[in-house]
Amino acid sequence: VIDLPQNEDRLDSESVNEPTQTATKPNLIVSSNVRELLECPVCLNAMYPPIHQCLNGHTLCSGCKPRVHNRCPTCRHELGNIRCLALEKVAASLELPCKYQSYGCVGIYPYYSKLKHESQCSYRPYSCPYAGSECTVVGDIPFLVAHLKDDHKVDMHSGSTFNHRYVKSNPHEVENATWMLTVFSCFGQYFCLHFEAFQLGMAPVYIAFLRFMGDDNEAKNFSYSLEVGGNGRKLIWQGVPRSIRDSHRKVRDSFDGLIIQRNMALFFSGGDRKELKLRVTGRIWKEQ
C-alpha cells in the first residue's frame, strides 16, 4: 500500500536526481506491485530518471530506449520522448531496504541513492576466490571457506607461517597453470595464497601473492613476506595482502607479488634445469 504525499506540488525534473531532495520525502510502505512498476520490462532492472513511456502509458528505462528502436516493447507503439514524471515522483518518495539485507545490512535508503549504497555496501557478498576456473559462487566469508574446502578441495592450514614446495615437470607449459591455492587461518581471519604461471612476453614467469578474505580496509591491517631461493641466492617479497574484492587476475596482472623469472626459477630448482622445483616460504603478521 502506498500513502502518497498530501501536497500536490509539481515535479521538478531537475531535482529528482539530487539525494538531498529525496531525503525529505515521507517514508512509504512499498508493495511488490510498486516495485514491479519501477522495473524495466526490457532489462528487468530498477528504472531511474529519465523514465520513458509510450502513448499507452507503458514505461521503460532510458538505457533500453535505443535498444528497442523507439518502439514500445509492450505494445509496439512509437515511444517518442515522453517522460513518465508521475512514476519518477513516486520513485523519489520511496525508501527501500538494501538488497543485501539477507547478508546483514539493516539500512533503509532513498530509492535514488540505494543503487550507489549497494555498490559499496560492506555486506555485499564476495565472489569465490578460487583461481583457474569460472566459479560463479558468491557468499559471505564462512560460506566461501566451506565452499573452497568442500567443492574445490583446497588445502586448509592454521598458522601465520608457511613452507610450500611447487614441482612441475615441464616449466614451459603455462596453459591452465594455476597450480596452487592454499587457505590460511590466523588472527581470526582467512588468507588465500596463490602460486601460478603466466605468460609475460615470450617466456613464462611465476608469481606468488596473498589475498585477504575480507574488505580492503581490513586487509591493510596485515602484511606478509614471501621468500624463494636456492644455490646460495634468494628473492624476498614483502607486501600487503589484497582483498578478494580484487580478482586474482587483477592482482596477478598488476604484478603485486613475488615475481620469479623462468631462468631464475630453473636456477633455484638446481639439477638439469628442466624441472621446476621451488620452495616458497612466508609469514603473515598483523600491523600494530
Residue with the bigger pLDDT between 92 and 133: it is: 92
Lookup: cell for 20: 538531498
Note the pLDDT tens digit of each residue in 52-68: 988 888 998 888 888 88
Note the pLDDT tens digit of each residue in 99-119: 898 888 998 888 888 888 988
Q: Domains (ranges, CATH) in the chain?
A: 32-93 (3.30.40.10), 139-286 (2.60.210.10)
Question: Rounded to the nearest 5°, which phi and psi values hold at 86?
Answer: -65, -45
Note the pLDDT tens digit of each residue in 189-248: 999 999 888 877 777 788 999 999 999 999 999 999 999 988 888 999 999 999 999 988
Question: Rounded to the nearest 5°, which phi and psi values hold at 168?
Answer: -145, 130
Nearest residue to 228 (alpha-carbon basis) of 284, 273, 281, 155: 281
Please give the pLDDT value at position 159.
93
Please give the pLDDT value at position 245.
92
Range 39-46 average pLDDT: 88
Please give the pLDDT value at position 236.
95
Please give the pLDDT value at position 3.
41
Please give the pLDDT value at position 253.
87
pTM comes to 0.71
Range 47-51 average pLDDT: 87
Question: Is the pLDDT assigned to residue 31 strictly greater than 60?
Answer: no
- Cα dihedral 36, 37, 39, 43, rounded to 10, equals 110
- The alpha carbon of 78 is separated from its chain's Cα centroid by a whole number of angstroms, namely 39
Under DSSP, the state recorded for 9 is: P
Cis peptide before 66 (omega within 30 of 0): no
Mean pLDDT of all residues in the chain? 82
Range 25-49 average pLDDT: 72
Kindly report the number of other CB atoms within 10 A of residue 194's CB atom: 22
Residue 95 pLDDT level (bands cut at 50, 70, 90): confident
Residue with the bigger pLDDT between 89 and 200: it is: 89
Range 131-135 average pLDDT: 73
- Cα dihedral 5, 11, 17, 22, rounded to 10, equals -20
Question: CA-CA distances (angstroms) from residue 155 to 149, 159, 184?
Answer: 7, 13, 9
Residue 1 pLDDT level (bands cut at 50, 70, 90): very low
Compute and round to an integer the Cα radius of gyration of the chain.
26
Question: Is the pLDDT assigned to residue 162 strictly greater than 50?
Answer: yes
Segments of the chain assigned E as strands: 51-53, 59-61, 82-83, 95-97, 108-110, 126-127, 138-139, 155-158, 161-168, 178-186, 189-200, 203-212, 222-230, 233-239, 242-243, 258-261, 276-286
Under DSSP, the state recorded for 174 is: -
